[in-house]
Amino acid sequence: MLLKLFLFSVLGIATVSDIGRAGDLGSMPKDLDAQSEQLPPTELEQVVALCAKQIHNESASSKFDAYVQRGVVESFGTDQERFRFRKCMAQREHPLGPSLHEKK
């Protein structure tokens, strides 16, 4: 039930915002239009996508996902999937936490 409500609210907001934009597209200031263009993915975002794809491809039934939001990596999945994801990130020089070998 909550999932349906969430999906409805997300899709409803997108539809309303798209309708609002369709009529005013020509009147948007140039600087706002430039800001809405997508920036190329950062190195962190690229590594997160690579590792998330690797984890997801290891199991056909995997529901693992990971993304970067405001510079913070978020991941969802089983403990084993999240462990393998963190290991993949560390191997690519993007550790998600302090190293066990790091001196305090």
Q: Is 103 part of a structural domain of the chain?
A: no
Q: Are residues 89 and 49 in the same domain?
A: yes
Question: Does a structural domain hold residue 104?
Answer: no
Q: What is the pTM of this model?
A: 0.59
Q: Give residue 8's pLDDT.
A: 43
| Nearest by Cα to 53 from 65, 44, 41 | 65
Confidence of residue 101 (pLDDT cuts 50, 70, 90): low
Which of 49-63, 65-79, 86-100 shows the lowest mean pLDDT across its residues? Answer: 86-100
Do 24 and 61 sit in the same domain of this protein? no
Top-confidence residue, 21 or 71: 71
Where in the sequence is the domain holding 26, given as residue range(s)? 1-37
**pLDDT category of residue 99 using cuts at 50, 70 and 90:** low
